[in-house]
Amino acid sequence: MNNADILIGANLSKRFDDLEVVKDVSLIIKEGEFVSLVGKSGCGKTTLLSLLSGLEQPTKGQVILNGKEITGASEEELALFRREHVGFIFQSFNLIPTLSAWENVALPLFPIKMTNEQRQDRALELLNQMEMGHRTEHLPAALSGGEKQRVAIARALINNPKIVFADEPTGNLDSATGDAIMAILSELHKKQGMTMLMVTHALELAKTADRVIRMQDGEVIT
Amino acid sequence: MNINYIVKELFHRKRRTIVSILGLSIGVALFLILNALSLAYREAARAPLTEIGADITVQRAGNVPEELTGAVFPCSAVTIRREEINKIEKIPGIIGIGQAVLVWVFDPHRAWVVLGIERDNTIGPAILRVFVTAGRFLEDGKSEALVEIAYARQFGIKLGDNVTAAGRSFPVVGLVDASRAPKIAVANLYLSLKDAQAIAAASKLLQTVSPFAPDDINLLFIKAEQKQITSVAAALKEIMGEKAAIATPESFLKLLGSLFALSDKFTWAASLIALLIAILIAFKTMAGNISERVREIGVLKAVGWTQRNVTMQLLTESVIQCFVAGILGILIAVIVAFGLSFMTVNIPIPWEMSPKPHFLPGGGDQLFKTLRLPIHIPAMLAFFALLLSVFVGGLTGALLGRHIATIKPAEVLRHE
Ligand SMILES: Nc1ncnc2c1ncn2[C@@H]1O[C@H](COP(=O)(O)OP(=O)(O)OP(=O)(O)O)[C@@H](O)[C@H]1O
Ligand SMILES: [Mg+2]
């Protein structure tokens, strides 16, 4: 396995008004690593994830993702960067209600110049991989929670990301469905060597990962 | 920008889409129809004059004749002198004039409305050559007569008969169907202008009421530049004095008394207000739509859509809606206009403009020029409305772009 540092966070702090939510956090994630981030509710996990993934700018510190310093980049640059290098999986799926399953998967490709067939081919391939090949034309409202999350995972992968960020991907699912989703993520990591940073507050889920990072009151404690 | 996505959004949010499209299209339709109605009434009001080849008619009111014997002028049309006509011809904006003499002739056993016409002038009553239904029209230099067909039927006058009016005899060479002819200056007996002038000049009674030289007239028809009708009418008043009765499309419009005929500025303002209200409704609906979609927009940004990508998507969405609304509005307007075109307009012709003694058949009847409302949606106006709606769509999209910029992609990480 290649051991290049794919994500470096250095002395990251995030302040909302007078509330410091992330305090001087430094961490490194290597290519192919599956890291989980655990901690109590409100300790700043989601905020740290948004800093590391380029959704938000830190108040202090640096983020280097795939060799590029993203701190200080413009909104526009960040968007393009996310489009190219990053995949997201959310707790509440965040599918577009008006688009079918495959269109949701293809959503990140819409602004990219390519034919609709190309987009669809790629989306269907990923949906098949998620065992969702039979539900490609359905709207999100017609899908179960587990199915929605499978669609969301396919969407996170459509741009061949260098790293996938997942924020409590099983948080809205019952335990059996949650296990199935975890199995998919684990397989992604094992078979395809996908680098992943997953936020969770369930310790047993965190054990699926190669490494667990604990957070408390905005600080990394291990 | 993804058209498929736009279409799906529009269909998914049917209520909003329908409200904004319908709201705007009704505004566009209202704007077009109100203006078209105003134009149609304006057009209709010109009909009584244009059918006699004129834009303005001029008469002078005078005294009522003391007795009804021989040839007399009706009180609504007394002498217009030659030198006045010479001055009138020089008014700027006048394209041409037509002249006529209308006299009432009371013979011992018969009364006539006699009209002397210029045989070869397209301005004025000579236009009725088209309505000669039997025989032929007057010929140059001959003393001949045309008789109105209903009058001829009533008094048993036939083609080839000789009729006598004010002691002069004329062969009847043609019959005229006045029911189809112009409604201004309607008569029973049509002569050449010269013959009618001679009859008027020879009447002592007429001369005592209103002195008349053989080359004077009492009806004047004027064709003028459309844009100068008002100024020409003012100049005519100046020359003719306060007894002048000057009929213009504007004066017929007033007779019509329709709300839409009242003022084009009023119509323009009212229709513009309707359009503006519609635009506001559409704007509010579309803006509300964006606020409902904050999360969706956050997702788009999170997965790598740039501000530009998102704005273009939503801008196209609103432009498409507004464009559809514009087209729909034009369609509604065209359909409504088609329906309204079956409406008839009755334009009252004042008695003064077609004076007839009350005891003659039809003498007391109100004459109307009846026509179908000449309504149509002007292409330029439709184009303007469409352009305006598309502009509103673009403006909405552009304004919402600023709102979109404030939506943070990190927000989508928070669960609902
Ligand atoms: N945009 C913001 N403005 C103000 N305060 C914020 C904002 N985002 C997060 N916070 C605050 O920062 C703290 C950490 O929030 P964060 O969502 O990162 O916690 P978390 O560890 O992800 O919690 P959970 O496990 O419940 O998701 C919370 O107290 C939250 O209220
Ligand atoms: Mg969180």
Summarize the confidence of residues B288-311 as an average pLDDT: 89
Closest C-alpha to ligand 1, atom 1: A16
User: Using CA atoms, how far apart are residues A48 and B107, in angstroms rounded to an integer?
Assistant: 114
Summarize the confidence of residues A170-194 as an average pLDDT: 92
Confidence of residue A43 (pLDDT cuts 50, 70, 90): very high
In the predicted model, is pLDDT for residue B269 greater than 60? yes
In the predicted model, is pLDDT for residue B259 greater than 80? no
Could you say which DSSP state residue B253 is in?
A: H
Q: What is the pLDDT of residue A123?
A: 94
Residues B178 and B285 in one domain: no
In the predicted model, is pLDDT for residue B90 greater than 60? yes
More reliable by pLDDT, B260 or B255: B255
User: Using CA atoms, how far apart are residues B399 and B394, in angstroms rounded to an integer?
Assistant: 9
DSSP-assigned states of every residue in A9-51: EEEEEEEETTEEEEEEEEEEEETT-EEEEEE-TTSSHHHHHHH
Q: What is the pLDDT of residue B274?
A: 84
Residues B124 and B25 in one domain: no
Instruction: Tell me whether residue B401 is in a domain.
Output: yes
Q: Which residues contact B242 (CB under 8 A, 6 or more apart)?
A: none
SS3 track for B71-138: EECCCCCCCECHHHHHHHCCCCCEEEEEEEEEEEEEECCEEEEEEEECCCCCCCHHHHHHHEEEECCC
Instruction: Tell me whether residue B317 is in a domain.
Output: yes
Interface contact flag, B307 A76, Cβ < 8 Å: yes
Residues B267 and B363 in one domain: yes
Side-chain half-sphere of B62: how many Cα atoms within 13 Å?
23
Q: Which two tokens stand for residue B248?
A: 């213009």
Q: Are strands A34-39 and A211-216 parallel, antiparallel or unpaired?
A: parallel
Residues B9 and B140 in one domain: no
Contacts of B414 in chain A (CB under 8 A): 46
Of A165, A181, A89, A179, nearest to A130 by C-alpha is A181
Pick from B247, B281, B310: which residue ends a domain?
A: B247
User: Using CA atoms, how far apart are residues B254 and B42, in angstroms rounded to an integer?
Assistant: 10
Side-chain half-sphere of B133: how many Cα atoms within 13 Å?
13
Alpha-carbon distance B5 to nearest alpha carbon in chain A (angstroms) = 7
Q: Domain residues for B75?
A: 56-247
Residues B355 and B230 in one domain: no
Contact status, residue B59 vs residue B219, Cβ threshold 8 Å: yes
Residues B167 and B301 in one domain: no
In the predicted model, is pLDDT for residue A1 greater than 50? no
Residue B191 backbone class (left: φ over 0; alpha: ψ -120 to 50; beta: rest): beta
Q: Name the residue among A76, A92, A107 with its Cβ closest to that of B303.
A: A107
User: Using CA atoms, how far apart are residues B59 and B100, in angstroms rounded to an integer?
Assistant: 10
Q: Which two tokens stand for residue B85?
A: 């006509």
Interface contact flag, A94 B295, Cβ < 8 Å: yes
Instruction: Tell me whether residue B253 is in a domain.
Output: no
Q: Which residues contact A130 (CB under 8 A, 6 or more apart)?
A: A150, A151, A153, A154, A184
Residue B107 backbone class (left: φ over 0; alpha: ψ -120 to 50; beta: rest): beta
Pick from B218, B247, B276: which residue ends a domain?
A: B247
Residues B31 and B128 in one domain: no
Side-chain half-sphere of A77: how many Cα atoms within 13 Å?
8
Residues B32 and B137 in one domain: no
Q: What is the pLDDT of residue B100?
A: 95
Q: What is the pLDDT of residues A99-116, one digit of tens each?
A: 999 999 999 999 998 898
Residues B321 and B395 in one domain: yes
Pick from B247, B271, B289: which residue ends a domain?
A: B247
Contact status, residue A51 vs residue A45, Cβ threshold 8 Å: no
Least confident of B226-240, B250-264, B313-327, B388-402: B250-264
Residues B234 and B274 in one domain: no
If DSSP codes are grouped into helix, strand and coil, which group holds residue B145?
A: strand
Contact status, residue B216 vs residue B79, Cβ threshold 8 Å: yes
How many folded domains does chain B comprise?
2
Q: Which domains does chain A have, with CATH numbers?
A: 5-220 (3.40.50.300)
User: Using CA atoms, how far apart are residues B71 and B207, in angstroms rounded to an integer?
Assistant: 10
User: Using CA atoms, how far apart are residues A101 and A93, in angstroms rounded to an integer?
Assistant: 12
Instruction: Tell me whether residue B122 is in a domain.
Output: yes
Residues B114 and B226 in one domain: yes
Instruction: Tell me whether residue B255 is in a domain.
Output: no
Which of A18, A45, A59, A219 has the most ligand 1 atoms within 8 A of CB, as the residue to mutate?
A45
Q: Name the residue among A55, A155, A159 with its Cβ closest to that of B410.
A: A55
Size of interface A-B (CB pairs under 8 A): 83
Specify the ligand 1 atom closest to the Cα of A91: 27
Instruction: Tell me whether residue B43 is in a domain.
Output: yes
Q: Which residue has the tokens 């007394």?
A: B78
Of A221, A220, A222, nearest to A47 by C-alpha is A220
User: Using CA atoms, how far apart are residues A18 and A21, in angstroms rounded to an integer?
Assistant: 9
- Rounded to the nearest angstrom, the distance between the alpha carbon of A111 and the centre of ligand 2 is 29
Summarize the confidence of residues A202-218 as an average pLDDT: 87
Instruction: Tell me whether residue B252 is in a domain.
Output: no
Specify the ligand 1 atom closest to the Cα of A50: 18
User: Using CA atoms, how far apart are residues B114 and B233, in angstroms rounded to an integer?
Assistant: 27
Q: What is the pLDDT of residues B148-175, one digit of tens each?
A: 999 999 999 999 999 999 889 999 999 9
Q: What is the pLDDT of residues A117-148, one digit of tens each?
A: 999 999 999 999 999 999 999 999 999 999 99
Q: What is the pLDDT of residue B260?
A: 62
Q: What is the pLDDT of residue B293?
A: 85
Q: Which two tokens stand for residue B181?
A: 């002819």
- Rounded to the nearest angstrom, the distance between the alpha carbon of A15 and the centre of ligand 1 is 11
Q: What is the pLDDT of residues B40-85, one digit of tens each?
A: 888 888 889 988 889 999 999 988 888 888 899 998 899 999 999 9
Percent helix, strand, coil in chain B, to 5, is 50, 20, 30
Of B242, B205, B309, B322, nearest to B275 by C-alpha is B322
CB burial of B85-122 (b: ≥16 within 10 Å; e: otherwise) equals: beebeebebbeebbbbbbbbbbeeebbbbbbbbbbebe
Q: Name the residue among B11, B303, B414 with its Cβ closest to that of A108.
A: B303
Q: Which two tokens stand for residue A115?
A: 């034919």
User: Using CA atoms, how far apart are residues B67 and B158, in angstroms rounded to an integer?
Assistant: 30
Nearest CA in chain A to B305: A79
Summarize the confidence of residues B308-334 as an average pLDDT: 91
Instruction: Tell me whether residue B163 is in a domain.
Output: yes
Q: Which ligand is nearest to the CA of A39?
A: 1
List strand residue ranges (DSSP E) for B325-366, in order: 344-349
Q: What is the pLDDT of residue B406?
A: 84
Interface contact flag, A55 B304, Cβ < 8 Å: no
- Rounded to the nearest angstrom, the distance between the alpha carbon of A188 and the centre of ligand 2 is 23
Residues B307 and B369 in one domain: yes
User: Using CA atoms, how far apart are residues A48 and A202, in angstroms rounded to an integer?
Assistant: 18
If DSSP codes are grouped into helix, strand and coil, which group holds residue A217?
A: coil
Contacts of A84 in chain B (CB under 8 A): 304
Alpha-carbon distance B317 to nearest alpha carbon in chain A (angstroms) = 14
Summarize the confidence of residues B208-235 as an average pLDDT: 93
Q: Can you give the C-alpha Rg of chain B in angstroms? A: 32
- Rounded to the nearest angstrom, the distance between the alpha carbon of A44 and the centre of ligand 1 is 6
Q: Which two tokens stand for residue B103?
A: 């006299």
Q: What is the pLDDT of residue B126?
A: 87
Percentage of chain B modeled with pLDDT above 70: 97
Summarize the confidence of residues A164-178 as an average pLDDT: 92
Average pLDDT in chain B: 88
Q: How many residues does chain B have?
A: 416
Q: Which of A92, A110, A116, A200 to mutate to test the interface with B (most CBs of B within 10 A)?
A: A110
